[in-house]
Structure 1
Amino acid sequence: MLLGAFLIPYCLLAVVFGIPLFLLETSLGQFTQEGFVTCWRKVCPLAQGIGYAYLIQKLNGFCYILVQVWALFYLVFSFKSQLPWANCNNGWNTGESIIILVLMFNSHVSSQSESNQESRNHQLVNKTVKNWCQGEISHLLRRRMLGMSGGIEHLGSVRWELVLCLLACWVFCFFSIWKGVRSSGKVAYFTATFPYVMLLILLIRGLTLPGAFNGIYFYLFPSIEDLTNLKVWIEAGSQICFSYSLVTGNLIVLSSYNKYNNNCYRDCFFLCLLNSCTSFLAGFVVFSVLGFMAQQQGVTVDAVADSGPGLAFITYPQAAALMPLPQFWTVCFFLMLLLLAVDTHVKITSFITTVSDLFPKVLHAPIRHELFVLMVCLCNFLFQLMLVTEVSKSLP
């Protein structure tokens, strides 16, 4: 894995294009005081197609609420007396688990010598069961939560637990944005600060785990050869765009609420610094746990490192199950993830603000604005019902 080589290109690309582009977008929104379509109309009418491209892009961005749905699902499971991915005695385990386990055992036993077979068999069974049970968190994701079908052409049935989570997320989204930035700003006071408390708790716990410093060393001192891999630089650039919310129109809309003479240079510098420091701190949280997990399994850190959804919904919960009081640590982690996902509601806010600016006489009226927000949330909920079916997609 190339996660350890990520830090150097991330810092370099943040300075080269992340911060300048952040400043460009915030200054554009602050100067025009408009949404991301009408702002381009003011600057250059021929360029307003860029704003409409942002508008189309938002339709795909709404799907990020599924991260919040998954986090809520896992959070509910984290309150059980025994974490469901910490054992193999679950209803979603199939008979294939036992068959494969026996086949793995028999194929190795046949090669053992008679003299020392009993002790070796005992070690082999323990190792095989351990390795097999470590996949239970993957089973929870694929079978219990998603119920993945045979392929994208098989839609399957709706996962009703996910539908309830999806409904709860969109209801919360509606009440957090229905009054515009006045309501979403008040929600952000909590959702943007409380995750830092959870992050600090997880960091302290991670640093006290055995093997944590192996993971941190892997994080801070990557292999120089990995820096020549183009994939590392692409992932670093993607993370800059995603974490800074670049080229999405969100910065234009949010900065349009600033005063015209606001010091956007200062805001840009400190916001980017805070964002990057948070990402850097989160790296310590993740890699300290990966180092602990690697030591528990007797492998190197790169063997347990993962990226994308697999890191949040497979690797980290699997590591938390190995700690004392696993329920507490999984609750902290998924509560933090849930609150961080709430901040993605700014995508919906920027969409609503931009469309309202396109039709100000129709949508800026008090009652009509709330009805428009309700219609957007309801339509997205109905559309995303197909995303909580059993249709499968390749997952890590």
Structure 2
Amino acid sequence: MEKTMETDTGNRGQWSNKVEYFLVVAGYVVGLANVWRFPYLCFKHGGGAFLVPYGLLAVVCGIPLFLLESSVGQFTQEGFVTCWRKLCPLATGIGCGYLVMKFYDLSYILIEAWAIFYLVFSFRTQIPWATCNNTWNTDSCMGVQILDSPSENLTANETRLKNTTSAAVEFWERRVLGLSGGIEELGSIRWELTLCLLIAWIFCYFCIWKGVKSSGKVVYFTATFPYAMLLILLIRGLTLPGAWDGIYYYLYPDLNHLPILEVWIEAGSQIFYSYSLTAGTLIVLSSYNDYNNNCYRDCFWLCLLNSGTSFVAGFVVFSVLGFMAHKQGVPVDTVVQSGPGLAFITYPQATALMPLPQFWTVCFFLMLILLATDSHFVMVEGFITSLSDLFPKWLRAPRKREIFVLVVCAVNFLVHLSLVTEGGIYVFQLFDFYGSTRVCQNFMAICECLVVGWIFGADRIFNIIKDMTGQKPAVFFKLCWKYIIPILSLVSFIIYLVDYKRLTINDYVYPDWAYALGWTMTFSSIVMVPLWAAGQMCLTPGTFKQRLSALCRPAEDPIRTRRKGREEETTVELTSPET
């Protein structure tokens, strides 16, 4: 009967070795936020002074939450929905909220599609975003070769830039996006972007169709090659004229920013984004570990790798921006952007100014594609694993899983066709701004810490980590889980709601119905937590106190159950006929 059950549900599997786990998690957490968000935040919020709140919040929020999620996944050996059944059944709504957030997060595959589009054009003899002799250019277009005049007056150069549109901007808005007037005008589907989107989803499918067996092998290339590209771009960037001017803007410490509350809020937000916290995927990835894997040690190394990559990426970005400002004869702060503008306008425009621009552009967009690919296919894997753990009989068997993965990829491809229309950028920004925002992250962090730190018990999770790794965490982590993280997350949650600013793109203001849709997206994940708790309280028999007691505690002591299972396995081995 046990063999029949295993055939029906399939084998959940584990990582083949420790290296695969480390590379998959590194590939997931080291992403676009490290390349285009962290350097910009350093520049905007005091340069080197920004490292003070960033480093402090990494210690009191980032590392403790990373350890919490990793240990929960490794102990329960479940996805981010079913894991809560083994800790606190009443809190399963946290996992349901993660499912909703994952649906919005999957839209980030559009960045990969954009990067593929640019990569194809990078092989042309004449890079199209460097000149104005293309069919999509307007009369106000200015090519990069006209900007090469650093000896001119700075004010005159700045005025000239404001009165014209760069070739890179026109390529981005008119050739790539075919930008419409707003979200009300979605327009037609861009067939070239659609093809790039299809390629991205096909690659995603073959990365995860066999589960950890396939994704664990893919990361040997996708997680390591971006570092090779980063090193090449770093060496080249530091040798460019004007590079150190850019680095000065990046790192010069302005201590006047430290008392500003916004700086600390942005630092905390960056920690959540770059460490991929309160998204559930860390729980899933750790669930494929061996029970005795040292997740305590892994946590420190992975967090150090993530923050170190962010810091180094700043040198890559700002050395090139300093070079670009030098060639144009303008201050560095006039060419600094964050988000898609940095990756698809400013940086390509800068590489077009270098000798052998095709080579440097190919290096940059290959790095961008692989960073986006790593993060994206792991997101999809987390989504699929969690659903498979909910319905193991139907979704975990090998052939059934492959079909299910194909259905998920196909459905998402069809949904994301709205992102490759002429108004697709407006839809994408709506997903990005409202789908998985700081308010969602802070709320989930509060819930996680309350459940694990107070209801399940910080002492109990400490004993579990000691049982798994052989070493007990520092008491500092208990203080973070029970007090520091919930308080800081609650403060950030309130400030976000009080100081809320509407989403705008350039001068475009969304219609009221779009803002209403955005807030619906935000609260669609948050509301899962109380809804699930209320539903379980209604369906569970007994008095209110009995129901609450039953739903807030695991059925058995987890350590005792684990040890009992190991003792039974040993007894079977000792009493078997072969023995």
- TM-score, normalised by the number of residues in structure 1: 0.89
Could you tell me whether the CA contact under 8 Å between 1:215 and 1:288 is conserved in 2? yes
Relative to structure 1, is the Cα distance of residues 36 and 127 closer, same or farther in structure 2, using a 3 angstrom cutoff? closer
1:152 aligns with 2:187: no
Q: Which residue of 2 aligns with 1:3?
A: 42
Q: Which residue of 2 aligns with 1:83?
A: 127
Q: Which residue of 1 aligns with 2:74?
A: 30
Distance in 1, Cα, partners of 2:339 & 2:413: 24
State the Cα RMSD in Å.
2.2
- Which residue among 92, 107, 120 is the counterpart of 1:48? 92
Could you tell me whether the CA contact under 8 Å between 1:87 and 1:133 is conserved in 2? no
| Cα displacement (A) at 1:139 | 1.1
Distance in 2, Cα, partners of 1:33 & 1:2: 37
Q: Which residue of 2 aligns with 1:375?
A: 407
Relative to structure 1, is the Cα distance of residues 128 and 66 closer, same or farther in structure 2, using a 3 angstrom cutoff? same
* C-alpha distance after superposition, 1:109-157 (max 9, x if no partner): xxxxxxxxxxxxxx99999877777621111111111111111101100
Q: Which residue of 2 aligns with 1:386?
A: 418
| Cα displacement (A) at 1:219 | 1.6
Higher RCO structure (Cα 8 Å, ≥6 apart): 1
Distance in 2, Cα, partners of 1:136 & 1:201: 26
Distance in 1, Cα, partners of 2:96 & 2:158: 56
What are the equivalent positions in structure 2 for 1:140-289 lying under 5 Å apart? Answer: 140-289=171-320
* C-alpha distance after superposition, 1:213-256 (max 9, x if no partner): 11112222232223344443333222211221100001000000
Could you tell me whether the CA contact under 8 Å between 1:241 and 1:247 is conserved in 2? yes
> In terms of Rg, which structure is larger?
2
Distance in 2, Cα, partners of 1:168 & 1:8: 41
| Cα displacement (A) at 1:9 | 2.5
Q: Which residue of 2 aligns with 1:357?
A: 389
Aligned amino acid, residue 79 of structure 1: F
Distance in 1, Cα, partners of 2:323 & 2:96: 47
Aligned amino acid, residue 32 of structure 1: T
Could you tell me whether the CA contact under 8 Å between 2:223 and 2:371 is conserved in 1? yes
Q: How many residues align?
A: 373
Relative to structure 1, is the Cα distance of residues 315 and 230 closer, same or farther in structure 2, using a 3 angstrom cutoff? farther
Aligned amino acid, residue 3 of structure 1: C
* C-alpha distance after superposition, 1:61-88 (max 9, x if no partner): 1001111011101111111111111111
Could you tell me whether the CA contact under 8 Å between 2:42 and 2:251 is conserved in 1? no
Aligned amino acid, residue 261 of structure 1: N
Q: Which runs of 5+ in 1 are unaligned?
A: 102-122
* C-alpha distance after superposition, 1:175-225 (max 9, x if no partner): 110001110111111000000100000000000001111111222223222
Structure 1's consecutive aligned runs of 4 or more residues displaced over 6 angstroms after TM superposition are 123-134
Deviating more after overlay: 3-12 vs 270-279: 3-12
Q: Which residue of 2 aligns with 1:117?
A: none
Relative to structure 1, is the Cα distance of residues 296 and 382 closer, same or farther in structure 2, using a 3 angstrom cutoff? same
Distance in 1, Cα, partners of 2:227 & 2:242: 24
Could you tell me whether the CA contact under 8 Å between 1:23 and 1:268 is conserved in 2? yes
Q: Which residue of 2 aligns with 1:295?
A: 326
Distance in 1, Cα, partners of 2:303 & 2:42: 21
What are the equivalent positions in structure 2 for 1:298-317 lying under 5 Å apart? Answer: 298-317=329-348
Could you tell me whether the CA contact under 8 Å between 2:57 and 2:267 is conserved in 1? yes
Q: Which residue of 2 aligns with 1:107?
A: none
Relative to structure 1, is the Cα distance of residues 229 and 292 closer, same or farther in structure 2, using a 3 angstrom cutoff? farther
SS at match of 1:174: helix
Could you tell me whether the CA contact under 8 Å between 2:76 and 2:287 is conserved in 1? yes
SS at match of 1:356: helix
Aligned amino acid, residue 74 of structure 1: Y
Aligned amino acid, residue 135 of structure 1: S
Deviating more after overlay: 10-19 vs 160-169: 10-19
SS at match of 2:137: coil
Deviating more after overlay: 324-333 vs 129-138: 129-138
Could you tell me whether the CA contact under 8 Å between 2:237 and 2:243 is conserved in 1? yes
| Cα displacement (A) at 1:262 | 0.9
Could you tell me whether the CA contact under 8 Å between 1:158 and 1:385 is conserved in 2? yes
SS at match of 1:205: helix
Aligned amino acid, residue 311 of structure 1: L
Relative to structure 1, is the Cα distance of residues 82 and 232 closer, same or farther in structure 2, using a 3 angstrom cutoff? farther
Could you tell me whether the CA contact under 8 Å between 1:134 and 1:318 is conserved in 2? no
Aligned amino acid, residue 269 of structure 1: F
Relative to structure 1, is the Cα distance of residues 132 and 85 closer, same or farther in structure 2, using a 3 angstrom cutoff? farther
Could you tell me whether the CA contact under 8 Å between 1:88 and 1:133 is conserved in 2? no
Distance in 2, Cα, partners of 1:315 & 1:252: 36
Could you tell me whether the CA contact under 8 Å between 2:157 and 2:328 is conserved in 1? no
Distance in 2, Cα, partners of 1:147 & 1:49: 40
1:13 aligns with 2:57: yes
* C-alpha distance after superposition, 1:154-183 (max 9, x if no partner): 110000000000000000100110001110
Q: Which residue of 2 aligns with 1:139?
A: 170
* C-alpha distance after superposition, 1:78-113 (max 9, x if no partner): 111111111111111135x27x99xxxxxxxxxxxx
Relative to structure 1, is the Cα distance of residues 9 and 311 closer, same or farther in structure 2, using a 3 angstrom cutoff? farther
Deviating more after overlay: 223-232 vs 172-181: 223-232
Could you tell me whether the CA contact under 8 Å between 1:174 and 1:373 is conserved in 2? yes
SS at match of 1:92: coil
- Which residue among 333, 337, 360 is the counterpart of 2:364? 333
Aligned amino acid, residue 262 of structure 1: N
